[in-house]
Amino acid sequence: MPDLNLLVTLDVLLTEGSVVRAARRLQLSASAMSRALARLREATGDPLLVRAGRGLVPTPRALALRGRVRQVVDDAEAVLRPALKLDLASLSRTFSIRSTEGFVETFGPALLARIETEAPGVRLWFVPKLDKDSTALRDGVVDLETGVTSKSMGPEIRTQGLFRDRFVGIVRKGHALARGKVTPERYAGGAHILISRRGLEMAPVDHALEKLGLSRRCVVTVGGFSPAIVLAGESDMIATVPERHTQSLWRGLHCFALPVEVPQFTISLFWHPRLDADPAHQWLRSLVATVCRQGQP
């Protein structure tokens, strides 16, 4: 019979990447941890961690095992954990939510107000979303994530739709596009702010304009919705942003429907399956969904 305790040891070793830190976390001596690593190497037929300078780096085999080992350990802990009835009044826990800018400003106040009423011991940590990589969810760095489903997301990630959104144009009050009918020609002829995290690239509205033989004149590129809206409010430039997702950012500015047909999209909630049955996580997921759906047509 294999020693299943070695799975816990392997999980901690791969997470810490250090025999010393792993030993400290498991409250073992360094020599005992070294012996455990030797047993793991013998069992797997792979060195798992090899020295690189002053530290250790995982082998390809170790990297391939890391996610599977983490899931097995999580499942084992769930089996042995007593089922407790969720007591929101006494719940003391910090949840991390990874989201793009605009989500916190638009939905954060209502979400925090509900939490203060239902579970005052719960704290939220909003983490900036700089890419669409789901590694943070798999590694347990964040509890929840919001955004649009992408091909780069791991197939095991759970998904729940929150609301439908569309792109709109944002300009300052008094801008020429705040008066009269906004035609594709008038819209394309203005000075635009391109929003891109990876450099110059075409947005959905550019593809729609291209079908009409038109193109935007983008005079500046920014990495997010917030700076685009600020620039639009202080200039004659046009920002094209998701309507509901950023509605708290452009209050006081003029919002108009795009004069070309751009597909709507769904903002979703993502989490790792290891948290599916966690009562507190279930409660938070339900709360986020409720708050995001308020005020939908």
| Tens of pLDDT, residue by residue, the chain (297 residues) | 567 778 888 888 888 888 888 888 888 888 888 888 888 888 888 888 888 877 788 888 888 888 888 888 877 777 776 656 789 999 999 999 999 878 999 999 999 999 999 999 999 999 988 777 778 888 888 999 999 887 777 778 899 999 999 999 999 999 999 999 999 999 999 999 999 876 557 789 999 999 999 999 999 999 889 999 999 999 999 999 999 989 999 999 999 999 999 999 999 999 999 898 899 999 999 999 999 988 554
Prediction pTM value: 0.67
The number of angstroms, rounded, from the C-alpha of 186 to the middle of its chain's C-alpha atoms is 36
Q: Please give the pLDDT value at position 66.
A: 82
- DSSP label at residue 83: P
> First-to-last CA distance in the chain?
59
Does residue 113 sit in the same domain as residue 93? yes
Last residue of some domain: 18, 51, 80?
Answer: 80
Query: Per DSSP, which regions of the chain are E strands?
Result: 49-52, 55-58, 93-99, 122-128, 144-147, 158-165, 167-171, 191-195, 217-222, 238-242, 254-257, 265-271
Q: What is the pLDDT of residue 296?
A: 58
Domain CATH code at residue 51: 1.10.10.10
Element (DSSP H or E) covering residue 7:
helix 5-16
Kindly state whether residues 183 and 258 are assigned to the same domain. Answer: yes
Q: Which domain holds residue 113?
A: 88-165+266-293
Q: Rounded to whole angstroms, what are the CA distances from 39 to 2, 9, 70? A: 11, 10, 19
275 plus 254 within the same structural domain: no
Widest Cα–Cα separation across the chain = 78
Whether 179 and 238 map to the same domain: the answer is yes
b or e along 26-39 (b: 16 or more beta carbons within 10 Å of the residue's beta carbon)?
bebeeeebeebbee
271 and 256 in a common domain: no
**140 and 276 co-located in one domain:** yes
Same domain, 158 and 277: yes
Whether the Cβ atoms of residue 168 and residue 241 lie closer than 8 Å to each other: yes
Number of residues that make up the chain: 297
What is the predicted pLDDT for the residue at 237?
Answer: 98
| Pair (155, 98) in one structural domain | yes
What's the pLDDT score for residue 193? 96
> What pLDDT is attached to residue 145?
94
Looking at the structure of the chain, the number of domains it has is: 3
Cα separation, 32 vs 39, in Å, equals 11
My answer on whether 234 and 282 are in the same domain is no
The last residue of one of the domains, among 19, 49, 80, is: 80
Last residue of some domain: 59, 80, 101? Answer: 80
Residue 252 class from Cβ within 10 Å (0-12 exposed, 13-18 middle, 19+ buried)?
exposed
Q: Based on the domain organization, do 44 and 10 belong to the same domain?
A: yes
CATH of the domain at 136: 3.40.190.10
Q: Say whether both 11 and 123 belong to one domain.
A: no
Considering the domain architecture, whether residues 157 and 174 belong to the same structural domain is answered as no
